[in-house]
């Protein structure tokens, strides 16, 4: 075990944390770990997040239709450090004309990221966590360990609201993130912000384990308080017969359909916390423990608006976010692409923040390879994300079993690049896969369906 | 003079609800403000200079009223200042400032802008706030100087190398430099 790397990637690591982590990593039932990543939290980050946590619990009446003074101050702070902010805020009285600020779009994040980034950006601490890319044009959202560290109190707050406490002790496993992908990073770590409690990310694919039965044994042995993942992973866990019962399931990334939620609750016999979080924004809302159709706005440093198609505030419309804590991605009226409705006022669950109902969420979709095995679209995004030339993609599985990859690229594809791409897709879908590449996908900002499987009827 | 925070607070208390640049007679207001320093009514030397450069731009007019409000405070009488320097500031520097930050109410609502405004005025009048030496005063003004910062913003926008570097770094950083978090999106 590369002791030094673990200490480097988790700067606040203590000897007893490491010993505990070592036991988890060296378990004979453990998966084939393929990465070492830590939380990268420094002493200063730790203090920042703890202060953030305190405010998160204390300040719950933070949100109204108008942006509060904290948000206005935050925007002002960026006016002279980000060219994008400067341009958008020119001749606008922030207090009286907030609604005149032209919203930020996904295209802005992809094409104008260098103007959005504050000029005093110190890249040395920039991290990029891969987005699942299952629901739209993937955005490589640069982030800061400190902002990622804030996920710990944010997620734990949502669990607490569902009656689940996560003890902070180095000899317990706080959570395990499960996924079901052809290829992904698999690691175990300790979280400094949870006083050294353990955390792991595992892949349910059998090839990632010494023996298929090890998945269950490992979960029982490590005994995590909660399992995190997307509905697709939870469904796979249920279907592969995982019988470990955590204290909660923490579901994110994709729309959690009512019937799946009910099945999961029945199967795992625990609360299901649905979480609304985007790579660009970080956590936004968690499902109300009383009425899971609605989700409470979670962080108190964002401002949410609902804008109709004319861009006017409405009860029902597109979810637009301002603020956040990611220094590399300040959001100014960012149009998430998700639609919902909002309700203000106290809730019976005791939460004072407004609640939002997602109308057209991010529906999961899957494909099959030439042998009929399920392919997670994350694996497709993963291949394309690595191609610096690709701006936008669309993947279609045709009824006749062939595949179409529509791409929009910076430069026309060279021969070697096209060949490389073909090999990567053949590795995923099968050597005999009939794949057609088309490079004429327009990059005009108009919405497209990124993943289409003509064999699946989404309406059913 | 008092400490900077005294003047920042004063700017924050600017009665903007009583200020309508459409109806205010700036020359009359300046006349009233200057009497205390020049002991002259309708001071022809300064006012005629000001008259020829009075702005039609509402934003700059608003900023004039803020300056009038700042110096209509007893504190200024103690130390005094040469009125010609004030005129220089009004005629050359103030339009530049008005152009860089609009609407003028931003100079009131944003504490940092208020501080910049008062420091720019002090600098033009060659005054120092209490508790500060010249070096600190100048460093601080430079660090919050809007015009300087806009220049940096424009330069960084032009710097395509920076863009390339950021994008490359982001691609490289993915996964290899990820930080562990409890979930994914």
Per-residue pLDDT of chain A (460 residues; tens, 9 = 90+): 789 999 999 999 999 999 999 999 999 999 999 999 999 999 999 999 999 999 999 998 878 889 999 999 999 999 999 999 999 999 999 989 999 999 999 889 878 888 898 887 777 888 887 665 555 556 778 899 999 999 999 999 999 999 999 999 999 999 999 998 888 889 999 999 999 999 999 999 999 999 999 999 999 999 999 999 998 899 889 988 999 999 999 999 888 888 889 999 999 999 999 999 998 999 999 999 999 999 999 999 999 999 998 999 998 899 999 999 999 999 999 999 889 999 998 899 999 999 999 986 566 678 999 999 888 888 888 888 777 777 778 899 999 999 999 988 777 777 778 888 899 999 999 999 999 999 888 766 566 778 888 887 544 3
CB contact under 8 A, A228 and B182: yes
Chain B's closest residue to A194, CA to CA, is B182
CB contact under 8 A, A177 and B157: no
Contacts of A228 in chain B (CB under 8 A): 182-184
Cβ pairs bridging A and B (under 8 Å)? 141
Interface of B to A at Cβ within 8 Å reads 102-103, 105-106, 109-110, 112, 146, 149-150, 152-154, 156-157, 162-163, 165-171, 173-175, 177-185
Task: Judge if ipTM > 0.90.
Answer: no
Contacts of B184 in chain A (CB under 8 A): 129, 131-132, 177, 179, 228-230, 252-253
CB contact under 8 A, A230 and B184: yes
CB contact under 8 A, B179 and A38: yes
CB contact under 8 A, B170 and A199: no
Chain A's closest residue to B106, CA to CA, is A93
A101 Cβ under 8 Å from any chain B Cβ: no
Contacts of A201 in chain B (CB under 8 A): 180
Chain A's closest residue to B153, CA to CA, is A83
A122 Cβ under 8 Å from any chain B Cβ: no
| B155/chain A closest Cα distance in angstroms | 10
Contacts of B106 in chain A (CB under 8 A): 76, 93-94
A35 Cβ under 8 Å from any chain B Cβ: yes
Rg (CA), chain B: 21
């Amino acid at each position: 075990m590369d002791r030094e790397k673990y200490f480097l990637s988790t700067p606040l690591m203590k000897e007893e944390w490491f010993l505990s982590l070592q036991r988890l990593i060296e378990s004979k039932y453990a998966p084939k770990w393929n990465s070492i990543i830590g939380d990268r939290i420094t002493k200063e980050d730790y203090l920042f997040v703890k202060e953030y946590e305190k405010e998160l619990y204390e300040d719950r009446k933070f949100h109204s239709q108008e942006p509060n003074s904290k948000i206005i101050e935050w925007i002002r702070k960026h006016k002279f450090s980000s060219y994008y902010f400067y341009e958008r805020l020119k001749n606008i009285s922030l207090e009286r004309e907030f609604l005149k600020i032209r919203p930020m779009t996904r295209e802005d994040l992809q094409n104008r990221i260098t103007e959005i980034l504050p000029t005093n950006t110190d890249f040395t601490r920039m991290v990029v966590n891969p987005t699942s890319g299952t629901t739209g044009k993937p955005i490589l959202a640069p982030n800061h360990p400190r902002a990622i560290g804030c996920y710990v109190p944010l997620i734990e707050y949502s669990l607490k609201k569902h009656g689940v406490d996560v003890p902070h002790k180095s000899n317990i496993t706080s959570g395990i993130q499960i996924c079901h992908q052809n290829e992904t990073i698999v690691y175990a770590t300790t979280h400094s912000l949870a006083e050294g409690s353990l955390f792991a990310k595992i892949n349910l694919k059998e090839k990632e384990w010494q023996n298929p039965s090890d998945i269950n044994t490992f979960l029982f042995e490590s005994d995590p308080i909660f399992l995190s993942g997307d509905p697709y992973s939870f469904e796979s866990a249920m279907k592969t017969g995982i019988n470990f019962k955590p204290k909660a399931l923490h579901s994110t990334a994709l729309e959690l359909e009512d019937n799946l939620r009910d099945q999961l609750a029945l199967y795992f016999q625990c609360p299901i916390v649905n979480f609304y979080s985007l790579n660009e924004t970080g956590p936004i809302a968690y499902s109300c423990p009383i009425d899971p159709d609605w989700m409470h706005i979670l962080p108190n440093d964002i401002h949410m608006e609902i804008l109709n198609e004319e861009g006017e505030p409405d009860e029902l419309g597109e979810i637009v976010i301002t603020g956040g804590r990611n220094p590399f991605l300040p959001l100014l009226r960012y149009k998430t692409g998700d639609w919902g409705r909002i309700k203000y006022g106290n809730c019976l669950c005791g939460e004072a923040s407004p609640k939002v109902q997602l109308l057209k969420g991010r529906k999961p979709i899957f494909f099959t390879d030439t042998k009929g095995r399920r392919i997670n679209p994350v694996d497709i995004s993963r291949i394309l994300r690595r191609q610096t030339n690709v701006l936008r993609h669309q993947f279609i599985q045709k009824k006749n079993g062939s595949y179409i990859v529509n791409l929009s690229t910076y430069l026309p594809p060279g021969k070697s690049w096209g060949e490389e791409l073909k090999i990567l897709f053949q590795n995923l879908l099968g050597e005999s896969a009939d794949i057609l590449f088309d490079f004429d996908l327009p990059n005009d900002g108009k919405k497209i369906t990124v993943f289409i499987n003509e064999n699946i009827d989404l309406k059913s | 003079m008092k400490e900077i925070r005294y003047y920042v607070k004063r700017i924050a208390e600017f009665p903007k609800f009583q200020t309508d640049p459409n109806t205010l007679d700036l020359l009359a207001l300046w006349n009233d403000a200057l009497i205390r320093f020049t002991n002259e009514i309708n001071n022809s030397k300064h006012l005629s200079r000001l008259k020829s450069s009075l702005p039609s731009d509402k934003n700059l007019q608003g900023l004039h009223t803020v300056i009038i409000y700042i110096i209509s405070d007893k504190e200024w009488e103690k130390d005094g200042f040469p009125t010609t320097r004030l005129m220089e500031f009004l005629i050359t520097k103030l339009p530049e400032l008005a152009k860089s930050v609009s609407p003028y109410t931003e100079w009131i609502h944003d504490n940092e802008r208020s501080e910049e405004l008062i420091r720019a005025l002090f600098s033009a009048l060659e005054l120092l706030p209490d508790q500060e030496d010249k070096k600190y005063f100048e460093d601080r003004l430079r660090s919050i100087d809007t015009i300087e910062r806009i220049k940096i913003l424009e330069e960084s926008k032009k710097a395509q190398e920076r863009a390339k570097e950021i994008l490359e770094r982001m691609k490289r950083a993915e996964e290899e430099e990820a930080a562990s978090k409890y979930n994914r999106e």
